[in-house]
A and B are shown apart, each in its own frame.
Chain A
């Protein structure tokens, strides 16, 4: 079975500062990794995903994430955040195939202050 741990429940940061949201996973099989964003009172939107290949994945809105197999991590980064990045971010893992359900972490609330 897979599991996901998001190490920070809340991350406050000032506008234009860099940010890193941490995600660790556990799995006995190869997995696919995802980051989703949820703006207030909305559904989830896919930011980026890692399936295979290059371990640095670029997504929408200037976000990127790096897959580290040895540390079983998939941290999300942005070099300079904006007020509009204020949202909740979810890391998720999928084993693919018939077991392709997403298993989510508990989320990290990013709060960008002016």
Chain B
């Protein structure tokens, strides 16, 4: 049972480049979320999904896109990377919000 798997673990992008952060879970969880973590800011919600085909924006969605074509996968796309998107990104999943979320190990992204 792998839990929540995020790839890559580290990435350096140039300003303007695009990329996709991958997230997969094998627990058949309906709820999946993307957070970014910045020093002193805690974790802020970017986008979330309550099931395949259903996504919505969180607190800081600008510059990011998501889709949920399967229960297992929830990729996060950066369309045109900016230095302000330098952060650690966490994917999380849950059977229901009340059960708490299982987090991946994170992707550390640097935009230069």
Interface residues of A (CB under 8 A from B): 6, 9, 32, 34, 36, 42-46, 49, 51, 90, 94-107
Contacts and interface: CB of A to CB of B under 8 A. Distances in A.
A34 B102 CA distance: 12
Contact of B97 (A6, A43, A101, A104): A101
B40 A34 contact: no
B50 A96 contact: no
Given A44-B43, A101-B58, 17 more contacts: A43-B105, A44-B103, A46-B100, A51-B98, A90-B42, A94-B97, A98-B50, A100-B50, A100-B98, A101-B31, A101-B33, A101-B45, A101-B48, A102-B43, A103-B45, A104-B42, A104-B44
21 contacts: A6-B42, A32-B98, A43-B106, A44-B90, A44-B103, A45-B103, A46-B101, A46-B102, A94-B97, A94-B98, A96-B96, A96-B97, A97-B96, A97-B97, A98-B50, A101-B33, A101-B45, A104-B43, A104-B44, A106-B41, A106-B42
Contact of B105 (A42, A90, A97, A104): A42
Interface residues of B, number: 25
Nearest to B3: A43
Interface string B87-111: 0001010101110111111100000
Interface of B: 31, 33, 35, 40-45, 48, 50, 58, 90, 92, 94, 96-98, 100-106
B105 A34 contact: no
A97 B96 CA distance: 7
A45 B33 CA distance: 15
